Structure 1
Amino acid sequence: MRIKFLSVILSFLLMSIAISSCLDSDENYEYSSDATIRAFGIDTITKGVYYKFTIDQLKREIYNVDSLPMGADSIIKRILIDTLTVTGWVTSGLNDTVFNMNDSVDLRKPIKLKVHAADGITTREYTIKVNVHTQDPDSLIWREMPSLPASPASGKQRSVVLNEDLLVYTSTTTAYRTSVSNPASIQWGNLITISGLPSDAKLTSIINFDNRLYTTAENGKAFYSDNGTNWEEMDMQGMYMVTFLAGIPADEVTGSENMLTGIFAKDGKNFFCAKSAGETTWKEGEEVPSDFPLKEIYSTVFTNASGIKQTVVVGNVEETVEATIPWFSKDGLVWADMSTPTDFSCPAMKNPAIVYYGSQFHMMGGEFKTIYSSLAGIAWNESADKFRYASEKVIIKGDEDEEETIEYESLFEGKGDYSLAIDKNHYIWIVWNQDGSVWRGRLNKLGFKQQ
């Protein structure tokens, strides 16, 4: 028993010596030399929007790719940095004062932060830059582009976007083409030759559906093209096509597929028709009302309050009208007019074009004096001052007792017939028949990466 007890005592003595030895020795701790900023962010801006910041460790720069909205200078004059992840500590200013995240900072100009590693030796300096838009997001800005090399000989033309190209058909055998993939470089090049279209093909009825172009001819035949240059006749199974209307996109809510819609004639009457992309058989719809547009048709798509996509069309009608009335459909077989009391209707226009653009409907065309806008496509008003055609400022001098006033006169007024198309970058292209001039416009905020 004594031997066992002695062994226990010796064990405790050895442990005590070891612990004592450790306590008496000098400890060597190695502190981190990491002096990088791992995460950075500022407080939310207007409407609670949080802007992501990029950290370039090589250049030691921190910036936001998506610029803050115009007018945010007043907000970032005094704003909190709410995210700043480092392993050591941060100083700022000429005196290297320890940075306090509870203090607001002025980010209207670039600032510098110095990161100190935990070892107290290594430091890195970062430049913080906050980008702010200098453009008014709600302004529609126009720019004159290179004109067509020659104006359309026939006096009629059609503009349509197909994939990365803007095609302007000047006749049934000729067209101009330019790429819209690079908005900074627009070149029309030489006139291209179109094959497969008859001389009586309706240029103004060309539409794009599912990256394929369609049109009709005066004799009721229909044609399609995958590249915009070579056209082939469609097998319409004896149907006499009056015109194509629009492509109706697939809808997840209703479960409907992409639909090509049009109007065909039978027994002296016109009827709506539609078919999906994979079908050959057309479905017959209702009879076409007498005030439904049949020529120079433009279409647009919007999503209603129920989340269902609807296609809206306008165009020229064969009878005299007092207002420009859009028509909408969910399946292409039944169309309903979006009429409204006269006080709220869109004035009658020759060759109207409708676009759903910037969360509103806009109607262009006519004499090109004024753009008309509507939230739901029913009640129309003159568009806001910022959303106008390219204009020149005119100062009107008043009488002795009146101040000068400023008005804007549209540069497009009186330019005549035109065609319009919108590309994937939200640019509105207008090509004029009379002189072949080309203008491109875009709502500023639709060019911003963060809306």
Structure 2
Amino acid sequence: MRLKRWMWGIMTLAVLITSASCKKNDDDNTVVTTKITSFYLKNDSIEGLSDIEFTIDNDSNVIYNKDSAEYGIRVDSVWPIIGASSLESITINDTLDYSREDTVFMDFTKPVTIRTVSAADPEQKRTYTVKVKVHQVDPDTFIWNALAFDIYAENPTSERAVYLNDEIKLLIMADKARCYSSADGKEWTGADATGLPQTFDADHVIASGKSLYYGEGEKLYSSTDGAAWEETTLTDISINTMLFYMEGYLYAHATMGGETCIARCEEGSAAWERASKVPAGFPVSGAGLCVADGPTGKPRAFLAGGVDAEGNLLSSLWSTEDGEYWTNLTLGGKWFTPREGIAIVQYAGGLMMFGGKDADGICYDDFHLYSPDYGLTWETPDSKAQITIPYERKYYISPITLSDGYIYLVGGRASDNGDFAKNVLSGLNYASLPGFKK
């Protein structure tokens, strides 16, 4: 009797398992037979349309393109090509019966619905929503905005803005040194910058990823916040001006062993070494400075314009990858007037230059220039990139580029007598910048 009950239990369990298995297969079959397996848009007269890749999300029943289509691509007159198997029918927007052989152009600028019906079981249906994303802003266009005016009240003799710890730091020197900070370029807070000498020249502050640095004679000053500065006494070197930070090293125009040179020091070390001689025609002051990924992808330093040791204004662009070997990229060419106080930044596949002051005063005609080949040639940028809002011409602007594509033009001098503008302009570019996010 017990054996019969035991066998009966085994048979019952087997039936239940088989039943559950059949139900699962039926459910899986239902899901499969209502699925769309591929999707793209077609119109042979619209270039780039077939490059749009779509994702089919069968959990939320949405078909969409993860990456927005290029600006200007038309999707208002296209025909969907739908791939599926074992479907009884496909209906678009509840009214149009779909056939791959038909060519009825539709508007996909707004969401479109696609209803599928299973051939195995017409009661089983699914409705997809198709959403096509297209860039609404030309990716080659800069969107320029004025963010702030009258950042500070002082009348300084020098200023420099740099980027540190996710903030813009604006250093100025008036009757004393001050540091103004902003996370967005709009709202600013000020504090005294303590520990700096009374001869502090803010024009020569440089930034690494960790700290700010200022050099003067046998003293090197450093700060992690722009407000509190520490002094270090140097040996065997006298700093004329700090130049830039690159690949873990500080660079300066300096005097060592009685000779001027380009000197360098590993960040965190006190040991300076001679990197190279100062080339003839090299700027000793007033140059625009930029460290950016060069055409090879390796960081390079660029020094634009400035004043040489004889007091001559320069129209040169010097470049180096290591501070040892320097190249004048504009040698033999006159792409812009000799000038000082240039702002230079990396942009797309090259460099962009703003402002400056030449022998005739503030530059107006070629205030804004672009180099598509990292300094070999210069030209007026395409109208899409030009500053489109009323903007005064300036020199000694501090340019700051961020990883999200924003460029900030901070401060600068807005008259030949050196009055400071005390304002901020921002430009947002949606192109893929080297080393930047889209």
* Structure 2 length-normalised TM: 0.76
1:191-236 Cα shifts (integer Å, max 9, x gaps): 123222222222111112233221113x341112223322222353
Residue 181 of structure 2, aligned match among 163, 177, 183: 177
* Cα distance in structure 2, aligned partners of 1:62 and 1:40: 10
Range moving further from structure 2, 316-325 or 100-109: 100-109
- Structure 2 residues without counterparts, runs of 5 or longer: 1-24, 357-361, 413-419
Confirm or deny that 1:206 pairs with 2:205: yes
Residue 289 of structure 2, aligned match among 295, 298, 307: 298
- Structure 1 residues without counterparts, runs of 5 or longer: 1-28, 250-257, 393-410
Distance 1:61 1:360, change over 3 A: same
* Cα distance in structure 1, aligned partners of 2:50 and 2:278: 48
Q: Which AA in structure 2 matches 1:210?
A: G
**Residue in 1 aligned with 2:264?**
274
Counterparts of residues 81-160 of structure 1 (less than 5 Å): 81=81, 88=87, 90-95=90-95, 97-98=97-98, 100=100, 106=106, 107-117=108-118, 119-160=121-162
Q: Secondary structure at the match of 2:158?
A: coil
* Cα distance in structure 2, aligned partners of 1:69 and 1:326: 34
* Cα distance in structure 1, aligned partners of 2:58 and 2:161: 43
1:123: how far off?
Answer: 2.4
**Residue in 2 aligned with 1:327?**
318
Distance 1:47 1:298, change over 3 A: farther
* Cα distance in structure 1, aligned partners of 2:400 and 2:305: 14
Confirm or deny that 1:221 pairs with 2:219: yes
Percent identity, please: 21
| Greater Cα radius of gyration, structure 1 or 2 | 1
* Cα distance in structure 2, aligned partners of 1:324 and 1:108: 50
Confirm or deny that 1:437 pairs with 2:438: no
Q: Which AA in structure 2 matches 1:174?
A: R
Range moving further from structure 2, 286-295 or 422-431: 286-295
* Cα distance in structure 1, aligned partners of 2:337 and 2:50: 40
Instruction: Count matched residues.
Output: 384
Distance 1:38 1:298, change over 3 A: farther
Confirm or deny that 1:365 pairs with 2:361: no
1:96: how far off?
Answer: 5.6
**Residue in 1 aligned with 2:372?**
375
* Cα distance in structure 2, aligned partners of 1:76 and 1:197: 62
1:352: how far off?
Answer: 0.8
* Cα distance in structure 2, aligned partners of 1:416 and 1:146: 18
Distance 1:187 1:53, change over 3 A: farther
Q: Is the 8 A contact 2:409 2:425 kept in 1?
A: yes
Distance 1:444 1:104, change over 3 A: farther
Counterparts of residues 276-425 of structure 1 (less than 5 Å): 276-277=266-267, 279-296=269-286, 297-305=288-296, 307-314=297-304, 316-318=306-308, 319=310, 321=312, 323-342=314-333, 344-366=334-356, 367=362, 369=364, 370-376=367-373, 377-391=375-389, 411-413=391-393, 415=394, 417-425=396-404
Q: Is the 8 A contact 1:351 1:417 kept in 2?
A: yes
**Residue in 1 aligned with 2:69?**
68
**Residue in 2 aligned with 1:231?**
229
1:110: how far off?
Answer: 2.3
Q: Which AA in structure 2 matches 1:423?
A: L
**Residue in 1 aligned with 2:238?**
240
Q: Is the 8 A contact 1:141 1:444 kept in 2?
A: no
Q: Is the 8 A contact 1:33 1:121 kept in 2?
A: no
* Cα distance in structure 2, aligned partners of 1:202 and 1:337: 27
Q: Is the 8 A contact 2:289 2:304 kept in 1?
A: yes
* Cα distance in structure 2, aligned partners of 1:379 and 1:268: 37
Q: Secondary structure at the match of 1:445?
A: coil
Q: Secondary structure at the match of 2:352?
A: strand
1:300-346 Cα shifts (integer Å, max 9, x gaps): 323335x544222225214454652111111112322112334x522
**Residue in 2 aligned with 1:6?**
none
* Cα distance in structure 2, aligned partners of 1:48 and 1:247: 45
Alignment RMSD (CA, Å) = 3.4
Q: Which AA in structure 1 matches 2:200?
A: A
Distance 1:116 1:355, change over 3 A: same
Distance 1:361 1:337, change over 3 A: same
Q: Secondary structure at the match of 2:431?
A: helix
* Cα distance in structure 1, aligned partners of 2:163 and 2:220: 20
1:271: how far off?
Answer: 0.7
1:36: how far off?
Answer: 6.9
Q: Secondary structure at the match of 1:381?
A: coil
1:159-203 Cα shifts (integer Å, max 9, x gaps): 1111311111123631211114xx8xx321x31232222222221
1:265: how far off?
Answer: 0.8
Q: Secondary structure at the match of 1:291?
A: coil
Q: Which AA in structure 1 matches 2:381?
A: S
Q: Secondary structure at the match of 1:157?
A: strand
* Structure 1 length-normalised TM: 0.74
1:129-182 Cα shifts (integer Å, max 9, x gaps): 2111222222222101022442442142111111311111123631211114xx
* Cα distance in structure 2, aligned partners of 1:311 and 1:124: 58
Q: Which AA in structure 2 matches 1:372?
A: L
* Cα distance in structure 2, aligned partners of 1:210 and 1:86: 56
Distance 1:33 1:339, change over 3 A: same
Distance 1:101 1:260, change over 3 A: farther
Range moving further from structure 2, 153-162 or 366-375: 366-375
**Residue in 2 aligned with 1:16?**
none
Q: Is the 8 A contact 2:94 2:113 kept in 1?
A: no
